[in-house]
Structure 1
Amino acid sequence: MQPNASLFGQALVFAILVLFTWKFIWPPLIAALEERAKRIADGLSAADKAKNDLELVEKRIAEELRKAKTQAAEIIAQAEKRAAQIVDEAKDEGRAAGEREKAAAQAEIEQQAHHAREELRQQVSLLAIAGAEKILRKEIDSSRHADLLASLKSEL
């Protein structure tokens, strides 16, 4: 074989290989590469969308947390206000009960003082009567002295 014919034969086989590769191997390979590029682009797009969605969700979560904190602060403030009201009501009830007990004790003290005064009057009048009896034994007009002692008893 001559080098020219051999070279021509190799060129012809190479040309057939290039045509075969260009016709049957290259299109599926390009399609696979384009498909992969499209999937990568879709994945990047989905990642960007997910990132945006994540930012939106984080904003919503921050807003909900802020609302929850505000609501919790309001509830705490209401609870503290109600606790203060309960304490004030208890103080008022305690004061009222103390005043009732004080009034009852004062009434009892007045009643005992009145009773003691009455008892003292009784004893003073008995002493006065005993003194008057001694005086009357010496004097004869007992009815006149009894009237005098009765008026004295009523004055005491």
Structure 2
Amino acid sequence: MNLRKFLIPLGIVVLVIAAWRAYGPQGILTVSGGLVMWGLLHYTRLMNVMQKARHNPIGYVGSAVMLNAKLKPGVNLMHVMAMTRALGEQLSAEGQEPEVYRWTDGTKSHVTCKFFNGRLASWELVRPAPGEEPAAES
């Protein structure tokens, strides 16, 4: 169960009630302004990540080895997209858990990431052997 679905709205409601009790209508206006600013900051970050990602092919990363070194468990998909500056190649069926994405570099090394509830759970770096031709995937 994803508690964020319940805790964030509950926290907002508690914040609005506390603002009402402390400052009345002025408190609600202040909290509402802060929440709108918070939403706009997230929207702006999403748009910046997507604008940077549009210049690279889907599933491409400059260096799979460097991506592997930078990944940490628990980060969200948007954070990984910001690091790679590209959308990942989706390997899992849409809407299926875990979501599986792959990023490949120019040397055919690739990082396959698994996301549970939108958070990075595990990843795997695969590097082809020197002189080995990569196998065709179906």
TM norm structure 2:
0.28
- Looking at secondary structure, tell me which structure has more helix per residue: 1
Greater relative CO, 1 or 2 (CA 8 Å, sep 6+) = 2
- Looking at secondary structure, tell me which structure has more strand per residue: 2
